[in-house]
Amino acid sequence: MAYTAQLEKNISIKSLQNLKAKQEKFVTVALYDAPMAAMAERCGVQAVLVGDSLGMTVLGYKDTLPVTMEHMIYHVEAVARGNHKSLIIGDLPFMTYATPQQAMKNATRVMQAGANMVKLEGGRWLEETVSMLSERGIPVCAHLGLTPQSVNKFGGFRVQGREKHQANTIAEDAYRLTEAGADLLVLECVPAKLAATITSTIAIPTIGIGAGRNTDAQVLVINDILGLTEMPPKFSKNFLIETDDIPSALQKFVSDVREGHFPEDQHSFQ
């Protein structure tokens, strides 16, 4: 098939900041291997996330907690071999960044494996860590809202920020992590109004998943895009049933995000 949205140049943090400034949506996909990474580049996906979601989507665990640094290194290396233009974001797994020094050591490994940025889950307690990484040349994507590594603390995969005090905490954390030097922010499973407010008040681009249509970007896991998830979450959509093949499904996701057709209200939380 013909690819209609191929990336013409390497995507950088500055590229994504410029898109936010122009109020143009960008696209992120969570994926884990070289062939899908190469296809994402050809379909115009600006950022790929090698997420610890691979614990559930690839390795068969019930949550992300068993994922190790060795798992992440293996999959970051694979994605980096397949994709040379998208911005590659690599997760730091559960309890691999409990201290700034531990975060520095493990973030270095992920960057050396081929990532352009690391992602950390958590709020204001990460300020010192984010500042240290940023000062030493390691870009950081923060992650607020439903942070899957805290699933046991939350009592399950639950929407965060519906209560006023919780929403205020998330908004304050977003501001503080931005000030500490974070370059991107993932907002997962938060009310659409809260995500819109945060997006309009912080300088860095936001990437939403179950956070409404008013974030600067959207991310979905490739398994959800292709209808491979047995019990898909509310915020996901199977794009393969609307198209003829896998590349067409991925290109449909890309175009729907850029044109504002996805997510719709049924994919969001109020």
Active site residues: 188
* Alpha-carbon gap, residue 140 to 133, rounded angstroms: 7
Enumerate the β-bridge partners of residue 120: 142
Contacts of 76 (CB under 8 A, 6+ apart): 50, 88, 90, 110, 113, 114, 115
Measured between alpha carbons, how far is 87 from 47 in angstroms, rounded to an integer? 4
What is the distance between the alpha carbons of residues 79 and 112, in angstroms, rounded to a whole number? 13
Q: What b/e string do you get for 208-245 counting C-beta neighbours within 10 Å, with b at 16 or more?
A: bbbbbbbbbbbbbbbbbbbeeeeeeeebbbebbeeeee
The tokens for 139 are: 């870009």
Peptide bond into 35 cis (omega under 30): no
